[in-house]
Amino acid sequence: MRSRWLISAFSRTLTLACSHPVHCRRFSSSATAAAATTAVAVKKVTKSNFEPALEDLRLRVREADFVAIDLEMTGITSAPWRDAFEFDRSDVRYLKVKDSAEKFAVVQFGVCPFRWDGAKGSFIAHPHNFYVFPRKELPVDGPSYEFLCQTTSIDFLAKYQFDFNACIHEGISYLSRAQEAEALQTLSSAYKDEFNNSLYNLEEHVEIPLLRTADLIFTERMKNRFHQWCDELIKSPAKNYRLEENSDSNKMQFQTVFFKMRPAVLLDGFSSHQLKLIRLVLRKHFKDLVYVRSVDENAMWKKIVVYTDSEEDKASLREVQEDLLRNTEARVRSAVGFRHVIDLLTSEEKLIVGHNCFLDIAHIYCKFFGPLPSSMVEFALAVHKNFPRIIDTRHLVNSSHVIQYLMKRSSKSLSSIFSLLCPRISSPSLHVASNSYVKVEVQADETGSSCFNSGAKHEAGYDAFMTGCVFAQACSHLGMKFELHSPSIDFSKNDKIQNYMNLLYPSWNSGTVIDLSTGIENPDSSYKRRYPQIVFSNIVLVWGFPSNIKPKDLKECVCKVFGPDSITLIFFVDSTAALIQFSKEDLVNEFLILKDNLESNDDPISVLHPLAKLLEGGNTHAANYETYRDICGSSISKVLFVDQAEAVGIRWKTKVENGSGETQKFASSSEITPGDNSPAVKQVIGKKNDPKRQSHHQVSCEDILDSLHASKLLFEKQVRSTR
């Protein structure tokens, strides 16, 4: 009875998980929706007002006691089966967060510095709402060349009137620290090459390797045209001369412009091979023409040929080129864009406050620092180095008894916590008698009032503001007296707050808390688990079974073979894949070996075997939990788990891990050369061919064959005994 109840509960979680791509932290009850409509002046920052806003923010952050942040992304999970499950092992959970941060883009970034004003007895908040878009601003690899959008998330943003035009037309771009370094290196070396080519190799004998007639004709034509152009310049230097050619298709390729007071030709519409030829022609035949490259407004290389009237002029052109290099460096600095805000937050070492912010932090790391580390511990420590103090208000609110009492177990969404804890701010019209509420004042500077919007829920700037208010109020409930701390508050010195410092939920349903300062993950005492203890070594991953198999059928099927108590849990990852937890670790291998055995034999026993129902269709795969992790670690994301496993390149059907850690993979006989009657054991060779390992494998293959026969007998016995 008990287990039946369990299964029905799981199937319910399955449908839940499928129907709501997790916005869990953002879901709010409709009752509180109205409360969040209070006008709060949130500063809207786009490309056009970024520079002054950044300078202003520097000051605000420097003065601040803490800074609240919030992010809006284009999606959360790249496939339904990548949702965070309570069932996930820590490394799998991190892989899912990593996948999300790597695939989706940040479109809005809310930053809200809070400063305690002792004289007013109130916090002063400055909510900022930055529109961010990964634009290409340099002719080298930019922030993100491609990003994913989850349809429901985009629709969700649209529901809350997210301004996609503002984001895409005017969003602020960025470069991560790693990208900035790379861009500087690439660009400066490109310039260095040009100096050398255009100035110093003149005396050197230049040979143009002309292999093709087309090249020959082209170089001749270019030579003539440049000669003609130079002649015309000398004849009438004052006149703005245009090169004319008969064919108008060529006209657009040759255009006279001015470069630093010198006449020049803008080379437009040539292929890079042609440009190479042009440079060779210039070096060989024209001592007074210099090839210069600079970055134009559209982040493309602008190529020009400049006329110099003397050697001195040419030398001075070198200075010009150095100037160009400096300009380019400035361009890179400006392309760093929004990352200046992140650099500001890290350099000021202020306390960062976020609500359920683990994914936010992963995005910040991935977008602004560099590629995400491969393990959770490395990630935690690397984050800690940059942000020494982070507080997750969701964890704070959940684990403090005082606040839980006040919350009366109501919804956990940010906006409902906000309206419960901070009724004075969320709805000032209500007269709340108590004096225990922390006062927060929003300051909008008078200049450029047009860029202030009244905040709304699910707008990053306003969400950051709410998070900060919740934090301040929670501190007050924990017994912090802000008045005593004036002029500045050191939260890390407070014993009560210290208990929550750097503790984050890795996901909303992980049931654990990670300490960023140590990288250690511990169970969260306040979390109520819905599932019994999970033992990952007892888990089998099954996928590709017939679509009519529901959790109930799967359990029935397996229990018929291994006994009614053999299964402790069945969890459907999606409609095509399930995790089965056995009561004993041995059963994992027994199941896998039996499955392979049934598939390789075509006798009546195999067909009538209770497990045969699961294997119908011939596409049922099985492996242990490690395979699940490997599949989650892949950068591919197919909607269905079955397709994902195939795309990842799994060609075997069953993977059995024996005691010595040796892995065997079995393919069905149909995939092996036909006519092979022996049980089909196919060894899948890794990326590198190593003959030594191969022979080693062959020995263990035979071992496996023996154990196959042994286990077959065993299973038949077992089947008989269960009947």
Partner 1 sequence: MVASSGKHRWGGAVKQITKSNFSAALQQIKVHIQDADFIAVSSQKTGDLAASSSHRYPWRRILPIDIAETAYLKAKLAAETFELLQFAVCPFRFQGSKVVAFPYNFHLFPRDELNLGMPSYSFSCQTSFLASMAREGFDFNVSIYDGISYLSRAQESIAKERTTPRVYSSSSSPSPSVADSIFIGRIKSRVENWRNACKDPCNMADGSLAKSLRKLILGGEVYGSRPSLSIDVCSDRQVQLALEMVTHISDDLVPLVVPDKSGGAKSVRVVLTSSEEDKNLLMSEIQNLEEEQNLKVRGFREVIDLISSSKKPIIAYNCLHDFTFIHSKFISPLQPSLNEFMCSLRLVFSNIVDVSHLLKEIGPLRKARNLPAALSYLKRQFFVPIDVEIPQLADGNSNNNHGHNVLKLTRVFAKLGILLKIVPDCQTSLGQHTVPIEEYANIFYPISNSLQESEADDVDFHMDNVRKISTDDLVFIWGFREGTSAAELKNHLRQTHSVFSEDIELQLVDKTCAVVVFQKSGSAEALLKEIGSGMTNSTAPSKIISEGLKAAGYEAYKKVCRLGMWEAELADSLDCALSEPSGDLTISSGEDASEIYWSSESMIDLNDL
User: Which residues in this chain contact partner 1 in the complex, by CB under 8 A?
Assistant: 15, 18-19, 21, 74-75, 78-80, 105, 133-136, 141-152, 154-155, 158, 163-165, 167-169, 212, 214, 248-249, 253, 268-273, 298, 300, 575, 637, 639, 647, 649, 651, 667, 671, 682, 684-689, 691
DSSP string computed for 426-455:
H-TTS----S-SPPEEE---STTGGGEEE-
At a CB cut-off of 8 Å and minimum separation 6, what does 678 contact?
none
Least distance to partner 1 from the beta carbon of 13, Å? 13
- Give the number of other CB atoms < 10 A from CB of residue 21: 19
Nearer to partner 1, 297 or 446 (CB): 297
Whose CA is closest to 610, among 620, 618, 598? 598
Least distance to partner 1 from the beta carbon of 18, Å? 7
Backbone φ, ψ for residue 711 (5° rounding):
-70, -25
DSSP string computed for 550-585:
-HHHHHHHHHHHH-TTSEEEEEEEETTEEEEEESST
Least distance to partner 1 from the beta carbon of 117, Å? 39
Nearer to partner 1, 300 or 315 (CB): 300
Dist CA 631 CA 638 (whole Å): 11
Nearer to partner 1, 274 or 427 (CB): 274
Nearer to partner 1, 178 or 710 (CB): 178
Three-state DSSP state, 712: helix
Least distance to partner 1 from the beta carbon of 232, Å? 24
Least distance to partner 1 from the beta carbon of 65, Å? 37
Nearer to partner 1, 99 or 360 (CB): 99
Least distance to partner 1 from the beta carbon of 302, Å? 12
Least distance to partner 1 from the beta carbon of 611, Å? 22
Nearer to partner 1, 20 or 62 (CB): 20
216-238 burial, b if ≥16 CB within 10 A, otherwise e?
eebbeebbebbeebeebbeeeee
Pairing verdict, β 567-574 and 577-582: antiparallel
- DSSP summary character for residue 656: E
Nearer to partner 1, 435 or 689 (CB): 689
Least distance to partner 1 from the beta carbon of 699, Å? 19
Dist CA 446 CA 219 (whole Å): 62
Nearer to partner 1, 47 or 712 (CB): 47
Helices marked H in 579-684 — which ranges? 586-600, 604-608, 612-615, 625-633, 641-648
Q: Calculate Rg over the CA atoms of the chain.
A: 33
Least distance to partner 1 from the beta carbon of 260, Å? 24
Nearer to partner 1, 165 or 499 (CB): 165
Nearer to partner 1, 210 or 684 (CB): 684
Least distance to partner 1 from the beta carbon of 723, Å? 22
Inter-residue contact 25 to 413 (CB < 8 Å):
yes
> What amino acid is encoded at 113 in this protein?
P
Tokens encoding 551: 């959790």
Least distance to partner 1 from the beta carbon of 168, Å? 5
For residue 511, what are the CA distances in angstroms to 22, 96, 392, 467, 526? 16, 16, 15, 22, 8
Inter-residue contact 649 to 636 (CB < 8 Å):
no
Nearer to partner 1, 268 or 349 (CB): 268
Inter-residue contact 257 to 266 (CB < 8 Å):
yes
Dist CA 511 CA 523 (whole Å): 6
Nearer to partner 1, 197 or 583 (CB): 197
Using a 10 angstrom Cβ sphere, with 0-12 exposed, 13-18 middle and 19 or more buried, the burial of residue 672 is middle
Least distance to partner 1 from the beta carbon of 373, Å? 19
Tokens encoding 585: 């670790």
